[in-house]
């Protein structure tokens, strides 16, 4: 065991995050956690995947360690590595190892962004073994009984190059997320930003316009997160239409025709 | 009227046609009413002038009848200008066009807003006339302009659709392209030929459907989750009864252009129409037509239009502003129920009142039905059946005796963003219009085997008008015929020594792809990541990895090449000092090049072309990208033949079309030619040069490199204009071509 035990408190979530359930996902996740099954959450960007995991960590009173995956990430970025210091070398645990030691929920966000040879290091942790071999250090970490691994990915921009191996996929049970229905989404936007519910409904209506255009020039519709941004801008006193253009249209597309259509939708909704 | 004595005026008009007498009094009365005394004087002077030209009484009559009103509209300056113009026209061989000219003036004066524009218009007509009037012996113009009468006849139609500038562009195009061809000129100016219509379409004002198809599709998809087929129709040709938008299972019919109106842009007018149609599609159902009288039907349609719009505005409040701007605002007191049928007026008022809560109508029926409508809509979506009941009761309540009258009040009652509502009605009795006793015979498809593929049409760049001539060139592609492949093997054997030298160069040729190789014990660079890892391992006392270097290699080539051969007649020439014709030398060169590229393994195709006017550009495939350098290909190269001319632009565009779809990183179009672009239907040498230059720019924009190898020693004069300063190589010694070509290729691609 390493002598510099990490500070658990920084990973614990002190305040209840706002989460509006869309279905029975809380119960499903609770059951999976009780059995310590690894979970995969799927869904379009900005629909509340990360927020849900945060909320569950708070509900289950477990620390949460989040790793945003990227292409340059190597296995040692997850597991840990030796560092040079004045006296020689020092081992530093990676986030996955810390989580396994302290019994945290380890959340690998956008896992497909990592290369496939990196993702295989999670395999021994996600089956019956629940161990993590640190071959450089010559240590076999046995996962804390409370440890759980969660991964997220967005099937929307799945390309042929970016997919999980079957052997990785088949170690998880999956939860599917999508944008909530109009009423729920409006409630979320209004709760998050404090905007009135009529405006929130109108924002959701614009988002639906963009989601209808997915695949016709848009890779991804307007997410709930962007709606909250737009509402926040309005709360700052920005005129509604300008706020929508800034937060909802300009970020997602450079296609002139789509911009034009969305701008028109905004003008139609906010008369 | 008789109180005025007209005889002094009649004396001022020096014209003795007896037909004049019949109408003179009315005309002069009109003139006295509209014009100042000086104006009247000018008017009569002008009439005398028109009379003197000796074209009979008709021009004079038209002049007398139309001028006062025109002058009233555009100012009196125009009187003498018109007379002057007629006089000038009569001094040219185009006298026959004078009646047409006179006839088109009143319409033109209605379309053009001011005398300034009218002057431009007359000038434009005269420019056209002068440009197309031909002379035989040089000085005196003797042959009348063939297109002028046609043009003048079309003027009302043209001005209806074009701005003055558009008209000018359209006329210029006709003059430029058909000045030497009287028949075609006539076709063009009478709007008979296809490109005349195409040009007209392009010059039209307003928002064209074709430019905005995608936006409209996105609009339907995005805001209404609908997906439908659009079928545009033209408003330009039906003068009497304008077609209305409608939709049926086949698709949505909509006009092919919209002008801006009342501050609503054309695209927003399309959206207003689509929103209305989409609302119908979402909320309207069908109802049996046979239970209702015609008045009840129009009322139901109006009420239903308002209902679906009301529902749509619940979702998109912004639509109200848009529709309001396009909705006519009938004035309450405009229509007189005692004298005319006010049914349309009433319904339009009602529709406006339903759309605009701030209407100012006082009519109690309108007010009460607006209230009933809102009560009906207050808590539900309502339905067509409910709304039909309301509409029927509205008709019953407001019915007037004069509603049946033939003179229906139409002003401000047409709501043109709405469709014609044919989808609302179900007919119990099928109409027998389309009763076929037997199924119409299907068009017989010819069983003849097609020779080659159907023609492809390419535009051509006209450098004078700085525009493309749409679908100008027809290109036919086919497989090149085949001959004995052994001939090519003999040719290659002849160049065996050269082939050996080429082989050595090829081995040296560096592939393009730059790749990093890590984990090397020896290499060009230290790989820091791995070096640190090894150092840590070393400090920890474990075995360090010695492979801490990295190096780079060039790996693979990704280049696709098309060789475009000019197969024009000049290839048959035997240049000075040579024993072989250029064609034979080309065959050798192409064979060697093909062999070279085959050795390199790059995707490679060979195509050839020649042209016989713009209607017949031949494009031959000698080797496809997927074919290997085998006997079939050699056979085709052996059969290479020369003929016709060199219209290069279309061939380049077509070759690029194939090259573009290749997957390689780099794409190269090699063009082998022996002279400048030319064709027998082109007199202007610059024209094809400019078009070819344009084609090269176009394919450059698609990421295709082009390089020209020309055998024309005089090419320096024009070749840089086409291919740019570095885009060509001139091969002075044609006999060296077989040697030069492969070397050139290797140097280009290494």
CA distance, residue A200 to nearest chain B CA (Å): 14
* For B534, nearest residue in chain A (alpha carbons): A82
Interval B36-56: pLDDT, tens:
888 888 888 888 888 888 777
Query: Token pair of B253, please?
Result: 């019919």
- The answer to whether residues A138 and A37 belong to one domain is yes
Decide which of A130, A152, A176 is a domain's last residue: A176
pLDDT at A2 over 60: no
- For A154, the token pair is 């967005």
Chain A residue numbers touching B535 (CB-CB < 8 A): 84
Mean pLDDT computed over B517-546:
84
Cβ partners under 8 Å of residue B507, min gap 6: none
Average pLDDT for A46-57? 92
Residues near B563 by beta carbon (within 8 Å), at least 6 away in sequence: B590, B593, B594, B604, B605, B606, B607, B670, B671, B672
**Owning domain of residue A143:** 8-176
- Determine the pLDDT at residue B64: 82
- Chain A residues touching residue B321 (CB < 8 angstroms): 271
- Residues in B touching A265 (Cβ below 8 Å): 222-223, 316
Residue B408: pLDDT over 70: yes
Asked if residue B189 lies in contact with residue B125, where contact means CB atoms within 8 angstroms, the answer is no
A2 belongs to a structural domain: no
* B476 strand-pairing partners: B618
Is the domain of A197 the same as that of A211?
Answer: yes
* Cβ-defined contacts of B251-260 (< 8 Å, 24+): B252/B228, B252/B277, B254/B209, B254/B230, B255/B209, B256/B208, B256/B209, B256/B210, B256/B232, B257/B204, B257/B205, B257/B206, B257/B207, B257/B208, B257/B209, B258/B206, B258/B207, B259/B205, B259/B206, B259/B207, B260/B206, B260/B207
Report pLDDT for A27: 95
Q: With 60 as the cut, is the pLDDT of residue A17 above it?
A: yes
What's the pTM? 0.59
Percent of chain B with pLDDT over 70: 92
Q: How many structural domains are present in chain A?
A: 2
pLDDT of residue B137: 67
Judge contact between B462 and B468, C-beta under 8 A. yes
Residue with the bigger pLDDT between B551 and B271: it is B271
Rounded to an integer, what distance in angstroms lies between the CA atom of residue A180 and that of residue B369? 41
Please state the domain extents for chain B.
7-203, 208-426, 486-508+558-749, 514-554
Lowest mean pLDDT segment, chosen from A49-53, A156-160, B5-9, B140-144 = A156-160
Quick: pLDDT tens for B81-98.
888 888 888 888 888 888
Which of the four pLDDT bands, split at 50, 70 and 90, describes residue B105?
A: confident
DSSP string, A44-83: -TTSSHHHHHHHHHHHHT--EEEEE--TT--HHHHHEEEE
At B430 the pLDDT is 59
Q: Which residue of A has its CA nearest to B212?
A: A257
Bridge partners of B708, per DSSP, are B671, B728
Burial of B18 (0-12, 13-18, 19+ CB in 10 A): exposed
Residues of B in contact with A271 (CB under 8 A): 316-321
Residue A8 reports pLDDT greater than 90: no
* Residues β-bridged to residue B710: B673, B730
Radius of gyration of chain A (CA): 21
Highest mean pLDDT among A28-37, B107-116, B233-242, B474-483: A28-37
Domain end residue (candidates: A144, A176, A208): A176
Regarding whether A116 and A228 lie in a shared domain, the answer is no
State the nearest Cα–Cα gap between B254 and chain A, in angstroms: 19
Contact A269 B316 (CB under 8 A): yes
- pLDDT of the residue at B511: 57
Q: Quick check: B642 and B545 in contact, CB under 8 A?
A: no
Q: Span B510-516, mean pLDDT?
A: 63
Place of tokens 């007199």: B683
pLDDT greater at residue B40 or residue B142: B40
Q: Reply yes or no on whether the pLDDT at B139 is more than 90.
A: no
Tell which wins on pLDDT, B608 or B445: B608
Q: What Rg, from alpha-carbon coordinates, does chain B have?
A: 37
Per-residue HEC secondary structure of B1-13 comes to CCCCCCHHHHHHC
What pLDDT is stored for residue B435 in this prediction?
Answer: 54
Q: What is the mean pLDDT of chain B?
A: 83
Q: What is the pLDDT of residues B285-298, one digit of tens each?
A: 988 888 888 889 99
Residue range A152-169: average pLDDT? 72
Q: Quick one: A159 and A195 in the same domain? A: no
Q: What is the pLDDT of residues A210-265, one digit of tens each?
A: 998 887 878 788 999 999 999 999 999 999 999 999 999 999 988 888 899 999 99
What is the rounded distance in angstroms from the CA atom of residue B371 to the CA atom of residue B364?
11
CA distance linking residue B582 with residue B575, whole number of Å: 7
pLDDT at position B239 over 60: no
% of chain B with per-residue pLDDT over 90: 13
The answer to whether A82 faces chain B, any CB pair under 8 Å, is yes
Residue B145 has pLDDT above 50, yes or no: yes
Whether residue B438 has pLDDT greater than 80: no
pLDDT at B421 over 80: yes
Residue of B nearest to A221 (CA): B222
State the SS3 of B355-391.
HCCCCCCCCHHHHHHHHHHHHHHCCCCCCHHHHHHHH
Res B683: pLDDT: 81
Looking at the fold, whether A54 and A170 belong to one and the same domain comes out as: yes
Q: Greatest CA separation found in chain B?
A: 131
Tell me the pLDDT tens digit for each residue of B248-272: 888 898 888 888 888 888 899 999 9
- Tell me: do A23 and A152 sit in the same domain: yes
Contact state of A267 with B535 under an 8 Å Cβ cutoff: no
Strand order through the sheet with B251-255: B230-233, B251-255, B246-248
Q: Shortest Cα distance from B661 to chain A (angstroms)?
A: 21
Whole-number Å distance between alpha carbons of B483 and A104: 78
Q: Is the pLDDT of residue A155 over 80?
A: no
Of A152, A30, A151, A136, nearest in space to A99 by CA: A151
d(CA B214, CA A104): 50
Annotate B129-156 with DSSP letters as a single string.
Answer: HHHH-EESSSSSEEEPPSSHHHHHHHHH
- A252 touches B: beta carbon within 8 Å: no
User: What does the pLDDT read at residue B191?
Assistant: 85
- Whether B385 shows a pLDDT value over 50: the answer reads yes
Nearest CA in chain A to B215: A257
**For residue A3, is it within any domain?**
no
Tell me, what's the ipTM? 0.73
A30 CB-near residues (< 8 Å, 6+ apart)? A56, A59, A60
B739/A58: higher pLDDT: A58
Residue-wise pLDDT for A110-151, tens only, equals: 888 888 778 889 999 998 899 999 988 889 999 999 999 999
Burial of B4 (0-12, 13-18, 19+ CB in 10 A): exposed
Domain closes at, from A176, A201, A232: A176
Rounded-to-integer distance, Cα B383 and Cα B388, Å: 8
Instruction: List all residues 6 or more positions away from B636 whose beta carbon is below 8 Å from its beta carbon.
Output: B479, B480, B481, B482, B483, B622, B623
Alpha carbon of A215: minimum distance to chain B alpha carbons (Å): 11
pLDDT for residue B444 is more than 60 = no
3-class state of residue B690 by DSSP: helix
Residue A1 lies in a domain: no
Classify strands B559-566 and B456-462 as parallel, antiparallel or unpaired.
unpaired
Dist. CA B157–CA B70, nearest whole Å: 19
Strand partners, B246: B253
**Strongest mean pLDDT among A228-232, B204-208, B238-242:** A228-232
Whether A221 and A135 map to the same domain: the answer is: no
At residue B88, the pLDDT reads 86
Three-state secondary structure call for residue B334: coil
Tell me: the pLDDT tens digits for B677-705?
888 888 888 888 899 999 998 888 888 88
Average pLDDT for residues B397-408, to the nearest whole number?
Answer: 84
DSSP B441: P
Distance between CA B391 and CA B395 in Å, rounded? 6
- Number of inter-chain CB pairs under 8 A, A vs B: 66
Determine contact: A209 vs chain B, CB below 8 A: yes
Convert the pLDDT of each residue in A88-117 to its tens digit: 788 889 999 999 999 999 999 988 888 877
CATH number at residue A46: 3.40.50.300
Domain B486-508+558-749, CATH 3.40.50.410 — does that match?
Answer: yes
pLDDT reading at B442 higher than 50: no
Whether B223 sits inside 8 A of A209 (CB atoms) is yes
Query: What is the pLDDT at residue A185?
Result: 93
Highest mean pLDDT among A236-250, B504-518, B626-640: A236-250
Whether residue B238 has pLDDT greater than 70: no
Residue A51, domain member (yes or no) = yes
Q: Where are the beta strands (DSSP E) in chain A?
A: 39-42, 64-68, 80-85, 88-93, 105-109, 131-134, 139-142, 148-153, 173-176
pLDDT for B237? 58
In a domain, A69, yes or no: yes
Residue B493, pLDDT > 70, answer yes
CA A176 to chain centroid, in Å, comes to 13
Q: Is the pLDDT of residue B318 over 50?
A: yes
């Amino acid at each position: 065991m390493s002598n510099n035990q990490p500070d658990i408190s920084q990973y614990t979530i002190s305040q209840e995050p706002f989460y509006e359930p869309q279905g029975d996902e809380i119960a499903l996740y609770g059951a999976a956690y009780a059995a310590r099954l690894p979970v995969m959450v799927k869904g379009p960007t900005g629909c509340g995947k990360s927020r849900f995991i945060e909320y569950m960590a708070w509900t289950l009173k477990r620390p949460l360690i989040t790793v945003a995956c990227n292409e340059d990430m190597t296995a040692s970025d997850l597991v840990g590595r030796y560092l040079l210091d004045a006296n020689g070398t020092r081992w530093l645990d990676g986030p996955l190892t810390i989580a396994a030691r302290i019994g945290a929920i380890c959340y690998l966000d956008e896992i497909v962004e990592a290369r496939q040879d990196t993702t295989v290091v999670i395999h021994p942790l996600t089956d019956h073994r629940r161990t993590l071999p640190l071959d450089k250090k010559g240590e076999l970490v046995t996962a804390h009984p409370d440890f759980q691994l969660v991964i997220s990915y967005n099937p929307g921009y799945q390309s042929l190059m970016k997919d999980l191996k079957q052997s990785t996929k088949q170690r998880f049970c999956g939860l599917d997320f999508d944008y909530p229905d109009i009423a729920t989404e409006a409630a979320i936007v209004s709760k998050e930003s404090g905007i009135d519910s009529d405006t929130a409904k109108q924002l959701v209506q614009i988002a639906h316009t963009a989601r209808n255009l997915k695949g016709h020039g848009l890779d991804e519709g307007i997410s709930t997160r962007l709606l909250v941004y737009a509402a926040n801008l309005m709360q700052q006193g920005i005129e509604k239409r300008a706020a929508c253009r800034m937060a909802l249209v300009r970020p997602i597309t450079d296609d002139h025709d789509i911009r034009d259509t969305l701008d028109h939708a905004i003008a139609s909704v906010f008369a | 009227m008789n109180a005025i004595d007209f005889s002094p005026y009649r004396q001022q008009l020096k014209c003795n046609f007896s037909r004049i007498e019949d109408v003179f009094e009315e005309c002069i009365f009109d003139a006295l009413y509209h014009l100042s005394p000086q104006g009247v004087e000018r008017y009569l002077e002008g009439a005398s002038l028109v009379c003197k030209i000796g074209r009979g009484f008709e021009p004079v009559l038209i002049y007398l009848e139309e001028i006062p009103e025109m002058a009233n509209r555009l100012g009196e300056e125009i009187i003498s200008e018109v007379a002057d113009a007629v006089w000038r026209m009569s001094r040219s061989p185009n006298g026959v066009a004078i009646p047409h000219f006179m006839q088109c003036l009143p319409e033109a004066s209605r379309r053009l807003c001011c005398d300034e524009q009218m002057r431009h218009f007359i000038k434009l007509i005269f420019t056209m006339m002068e440009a197309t009037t031909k002379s035989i012996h040089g000085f005196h113009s003797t042959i009348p302009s063939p297109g002028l009468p046609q043009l003048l006849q079309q003027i009302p139609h043209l001005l209806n659709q074009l701005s003055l500038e558009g008209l000018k562009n359209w006329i210029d195009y006709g003059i430029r392209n058909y000045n030497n061809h009287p028949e075609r000129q006539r076709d063009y100016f009478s709007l008979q030929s296809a490109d005349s219509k195409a040009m007209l379409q392009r010059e039209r004002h307003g928002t064209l459907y074709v430019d905005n198809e995608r936006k409209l599709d996105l609009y339907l998809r995005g805001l209404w989750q609908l997906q439908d087929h659009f079928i545009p129709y033209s408003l330009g040709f039906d003068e009497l009864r304008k077609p209305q938008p409608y939709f049926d299972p086949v698709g949505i019919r909509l006009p092919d252009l919209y002008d801006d109106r009342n501050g609503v842009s054309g695209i927003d007018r399309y959206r207003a129409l689509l929103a209305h149609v989409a609302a119908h599609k979402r909320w309207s159902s069908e109802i049996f037509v046979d239970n209702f009288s015609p008045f009840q039907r129009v009322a139901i349609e109006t009420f239903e239009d308002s209902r679906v719009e009301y529902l749509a505005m619940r979702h998109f409040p912004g639509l109200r502003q848009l529709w309001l701007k396009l909705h006519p605002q009938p004035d309450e007191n405009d229509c007189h129920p005692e004298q005319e049928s006010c049914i349309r007026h009433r319904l339009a008022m009602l529709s406006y009142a339903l759309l605009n809560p701030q209407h100012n109508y006082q009519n109690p029926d309108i007010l009460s039905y607006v209230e009933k409508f809102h009560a009906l809509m207050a808590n539900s979506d309502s339905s067509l059946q409910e709304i039909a009941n309301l509409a029927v009761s509205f008709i019953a309540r407001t019915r007037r005796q004069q509603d049946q009258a033939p003179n229906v009040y139409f002003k401000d009652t047409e709501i043109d963003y709405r469709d014609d509502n044919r989808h609302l009605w179900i007919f119990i009795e099928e109409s027998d219009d389309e009763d076929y006793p037997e199924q119409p015979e299907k068009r017989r498809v010819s069983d003849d085997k097609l020779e080659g593929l159907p023609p492809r049409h390419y535009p051509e760049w006209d450098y004078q008008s700085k525009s493309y001539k749409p679908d100008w060139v027809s290109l036919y592609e086919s497989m090149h015929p085949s001959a004995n492949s052994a001939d090519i093997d003999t040719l290659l054997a002849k160049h065996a020594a050269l082939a050996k030298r080429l082989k050595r160069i090829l081995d040296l040729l560096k592939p393009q792809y730059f790749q990093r190789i890590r984990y090397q014990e020896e290499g060009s660079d230290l790989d820091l990541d791995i070096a640190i890892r090894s150092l840590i391992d070393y400090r920890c006392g474990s075995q360090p990895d010695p492979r801490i270097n990295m190096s780079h290699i060039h790996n693979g080539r990704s280049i696709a090449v098309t060789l475009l051969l000019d197969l024009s007649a000049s290839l048959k020439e035997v240049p000075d000092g040579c024993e072989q014709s250029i064609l034979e030398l080309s065959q050798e060169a192409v064979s060697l090049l093909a062999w070279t590229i085959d050795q390199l393994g790059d995707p490679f195709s060979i195509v050839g072309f020649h042209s016989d006017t713009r209607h017949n550009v031949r494009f031959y495939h000698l080797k496809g990208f997927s074919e290997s350098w085998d006997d079939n290909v050699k056979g085709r190269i052996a059969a290479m033949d020369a003929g016709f001319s060199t219209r290069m632009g279309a061939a380049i565009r077509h070759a690029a079309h194939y090259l573009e779809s290749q997957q390689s990183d780099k794409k190269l179009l090699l063009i082998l030619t022996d002279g400048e672009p030319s064709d027998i239907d082109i007199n202007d040498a610059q024209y094809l040069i400019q078009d070819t230059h344009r084609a090269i720019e176009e394919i450059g924009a698609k990421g295709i490199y082009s390089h020209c190898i020309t055998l024309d020693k005089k090419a320096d004069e024009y070749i840089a204009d086409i291919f740019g300063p570095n885009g060509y190589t001139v091969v002075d010694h044609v006999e060296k071509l077989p040697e030069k070509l492969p070397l050139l290729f290797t140097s280009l691609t290494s």
